[in-house]
Amino acid sequence: MDTEATTVSRYQVFPLIPLRGISVFPGMRLIFDVDREESLGALNAAMEGDQTLFLVAQRDPSADNVGGADDLFKIGTVSRVHQVLRVPGEEGAKVMVEGIDRGYMSRLAAAKPYLSAQVEVLQSETSPRGAVKAEALIRQCYGLLEKYAQGSGLELDDVLRDILGSSDAGYVADYVTQSIYMRYDQKQMVLEELRPMRRLALVNRLLRWELDILDMEHSIHEETAKNMKRAQREMFLREQLRTIQAELGEEESYTDDTEEYRAAVARAKLPKEVSAKLYKEIGRLAKQPFGSAEAAVIRTYLDICLEIPWERSTEDNLDTEAVRRALDADHFGLEKIKKRVLEYLAVRKLAPDQKGTILCLLGPPGTGKTSIALSIARAMGRKMCRISLGGIHDEAEIRGHRKTYVGAMPGRIMTGIQQAGSRNPVMVLDEIDKLGSDYRGDPSAALLEALDPEQNSQFRDHFLELPFDLSEVFFITTANTADTIPPALLDRMEVVEFAGYTDEEKLAIARDHLLPKQRKKHGLNGNQLRINDGAMREIIARYTRESGVRLLEQQIAAVCRKTAAGIVEGQFKSKYLRAGSLEEFLGPAKYRDQRTGGQAEVGLVHGLAWTRVGGEMLDAEVGVMDGSGKLELTGNLGDVMKESAHAAMSYIRAHAAELGVEPAFYKNKDIHIHFPEGAVPKDGPSAGVTICTGLVSALTGVPVRQDVAMTGEITLRGRVLPIGGLREKTMAALRAGIHTVIIPAENEPDLADIDPAVRAALNFITASRVETVLDAALCREDGHAED
């Protein structure tokens, strides 16, 4: 049963004031301004009458004039004016009104001089006492209103609380609507709802809607606040960081440098691909928060890329005459390599696009490999860079680490290019034979890619991530031995051998190059220090033993140092060193004179060995004593060498009678073969003839000529097989004062390669059988053979 009903009371004509954006509810008071002329007229009319008027909202609150009834809502409030406040000198007035009843405007009664309307006064029924539904709606309203108050900061004043204690749903609805923020059209809806319960239900709905909006506002507000906070925090931290950096003197890093980078990229002449990549990185840099690690990485990357000579190259000096003169001025001898460089230049003149020259300078230390490489760069007018490959295990050392690694950098190749500052330098790769390879990757594979003329025009460094053209680079590698160079690499290179110097060559090098160089280094002139050839020979023979001239240079440096010190201390004004006067500067000689002269000895044979550092004289000592047939080998020998000794023994047993050896020696004699300098490991088959000669000498008591040295492998049948390293071995023989060198017959063609000075100074005997060796080395004709 619907308990809500509307009773029609009476019609009345009231002066009318249109309201803009506000509404008045029955039982409520409202203060508002009256400005418009018509409204003031209506007010005056009301004041002259019973002080009641009709207040109704305009449909369009912004309209200044009301043209007709359609511009107004139909339902408004019949109200009583309580107070009118006029400010003297001003047109308008402030009025306080109280709503009495809702009213329905049936028509406009007049428009001039003020609006008046015929109004039907509506009296809404109050909700029935104790109605459960009304109570529920009121409680719901109370709950919503509390929440609304919390959310909006509205003061729920006592009056409002009292009202909520009322049981009249319509009244409560009106009061609440009047008290909270609501849009004017919503308020109008409430005003127009004449049934009290529906009215409150409507108000509750509107309240909930307002709460939702409040919630939404809240979360928006919170989000903004959070963002604001974060931004503020970052700003604050950045400010702090800047202060700290300023304290540390690092403040310039905060400048926004992306524009500078852009300008630098634009200035630098770069290939398209490179500049595109760099612009991209600059774009990334611009997005990095200040002080981020990533930004630092990008900056390093850009700095390095900008320093790489992508398009910069130098002009080659193709004047072969001038280059020849420059090379000769720096280095004595070394004809092979000098010629090779001149050929290279000649070919370049004819075919400028010729690419991919990789030389490998192979030889003992101190033979000038590195220094001639540098001199080649100078003579050709190229920039140069030097990379030491010794002990590199990691591929990344050659090709760089990817940018994502902490502290990543380009590899050595690109760093070298960067340092050289041109894309066609002479790149010296030192110690390519000492390149390692293990679980970290194979550096030789990366190196191969850099060296291979087929691939190196697009060499990619992991750090740079951009291809670089290495095809214009002149690669020169150096190595002491070819044995440990990865074969794939060795294949790509043209090997130029450096054999080591004879004493005469060393003398010339020392006199013409090393001494002047060291004198200059130590601030001495040619009068302050002179070393004559005799003294120089003594340094070479008694203070050094090497294939190259590295130690020789060190000794000369020591002499210069001490001379300089003596002059500064006033001990002398100048120094002239002759043979025999070196002890003062260099101390006692390190090597005794190996020249043993002609004194033949039983069981002592000079062998010749080849090592990484060049040729060496290697003596074999053989001792024979009564015993039970034991063979002892000492002196740090490798397996191959031990086997050579056994082969020699077998040969002698088989030919005992011819050799004049007691046939049962292998049963009743103990034999000891020893190679002095036990600390040095020795191996190889080429000591075969040496051991055999020592054994025969010891077993027969026939002495061995000490001015003879030998090298050669033997077979059980007494054949002499060829050996390697002849050039170095013969030099060592000459150094040791040997006159005659016995070599395998099959090595005879190699004699052509031997230094002419060495060839002239030595007497060569070629042997295809051991008997020839024994004939030459044993002093049988002396009559010792009868022993």
Binding segment for ligand ADP among 187-195, 273-281, 411-419, 544-552 (CB under 6 A)?
544-552
For 8-45, letters b (16+ CB in 10 Å) and e give eeeeeebbbbbbeeebbbbbbebebebebebbbbbbbb
Residue 332 in contact with ligand ADP, rule: CB under 6 A: yes
Q: Which of 79, 177, 179, 367 binds ligand ADP (CB under 6 A)?
A: 367
Contact between 365 and ligand ADP by CB under 6 A: the answer reads yes
Active site residue 547: no
Question: Does 509 participate in binding ligand ADP (rule CB under 6 A)?
Answer: yes
Applying CB under 6 A, among 478, 502, 528, 711 the residue interacting with ligand ADP is: 478
DSSP classification of residue 308: S
Q: Which stretch binds ligand ADP (CB under 6 A): 368-376, 446-454, 557-565, 597-605?
A: 368-376
Q: How many residues bind ligand ADP (CB under 6 A)?
A: 18
Output the smallest distance, CB 327 to ligand ADP, in A: 10
Q: Which residue is nearest to ligand ADP (CB)?
A: 368
| Residue 348 binds to ligand ADP (criterion: CB under 6 A) | no
For 195-243, the DSSP string reads: SHHHHHHHHHHHHHHHHHHHHHHHHHHHHHHHHHHHHHHHHHHHHHHHH
Q: Are 131 and 146 in contact (CB under 8 A)?
A: no
Stretch that binds ligand ADP, among 160-168, 359-367, 431-439, 709-717 (CB under 6 A): 359-367
> Which of 17, 134, 138, 334: binder of ligand ADP (CB under 6 A)?
334
Stretch that binds ligand ADP, among 441-449, 548-556, 635-643, 665-673 (CB under 6 A): 548-556
Q: Is 747 in the site for ligand ADP (CB under 6 A)?
A: no
8 Å CB contact between 476 and 377: no
Residue type, 354: Q
Residue 16 pairs in a beta bridge with 54
Token code pair at residue 359: 């030389």
Q: Does 476 bind ligand ADP (CB under 6 A)?
A: no
CB of 367 to ligand ADP, least distance (A): 4
Is the CB of residue 42 less than 8 Å from the CB of residue 16? yes
If the CB atoms of residues 334 and 698 are measured against ligand ADP, the closer one turns out to be: 334
Q: Is residue 333 a contact residue for ligand ADP (CB under 6 A)?
A: yes
Distance CA 687, CA 617 (A): 11
614 makes contact with ligand ADP (CB under 6 A): no
Concerning whether 187 is annotated as a catalytic residue, the answer is: no
Nearer to ligand ADP, 537 or 550 (CB): 550
Q: How far is CA 337 from CA 359, 369, 376, 379, 481, in A?
A: 9, 9, 10, 13, 17
Is 415 or 518 the residue whose CB approaches ligand ADP more closely?
Answer: 518
**CB 331 → ligand ADP: shortest distance, Å?**
4
- Binding segment toward ligand ADP, per CB under 6 A, in 169-177, 235-243, 327-335, 394-402: 327-335
C-alpha–C-alpha distance, residues 236 and 240, integer Å: 6
Which of the 8 DSSP states describes residue 719?
B
Looking at 187, 575, 682, 729, which residue is catalytic?
Answer: 729
Which positions from 553 to 582 touch ligand ADP by CB under 6 A, shown as an x/- string? x-----------------------------
CA distances to 265, 415, 417, 451, 494 from 305, in Å: 9, 11, 11, 21, 32
Whole-angstrom Cα distance, residue 467 to residue 465?
Answer: 7
d(CA 93, CA 88): 10
From the list 23, 444, 686, 697, the catalytic residue is 686
Please pick, from the candidates 187, 299, 338, 513, the single residue that binds ligand ADP as defined by CB under 6 A. 513
Least distance (Å) between residue 575 CB and ligand ADP? 22
Considering the rule CB under 6 A, would residue 528 count as an interface residue with ligand ADP?
no
Rule CB under 6 A: is residue 73 a binding residue for ligand ADP? no
Binding to ligand ADP, residues 642-681 (CB under 6 A):
none
Instruction: Report the candidate in 718, 776, 698, 704 with the shortest Cα–Cα distance to residue 743.
Output: 776
Answer whether 702's CB lies under 8 Å from 785's CB: yes
- Is the alpha carbon torsion for 213, 216, 222, 228 positive or negative? negative
Which listed range, 362-370, 436-444, 455-463, 587-595, lies at the site for ligand ADP (CB under 6 A)?
362-370
Among 195, 299, 331, 399, binds ligand ADP (CB under 6 A): 331
Q: How far is CA 260 from CA 151, 207, 296, in A?
A: 52, 59, 15
Q: Element (H or E) spanning 245, and its range?
A: helix 196-248
Active site residues: 686, 729
Sites of contact with ligand ADP (CB under 6 A)? 331-334, 365-371, 478, 509, 513, 548-550, 553
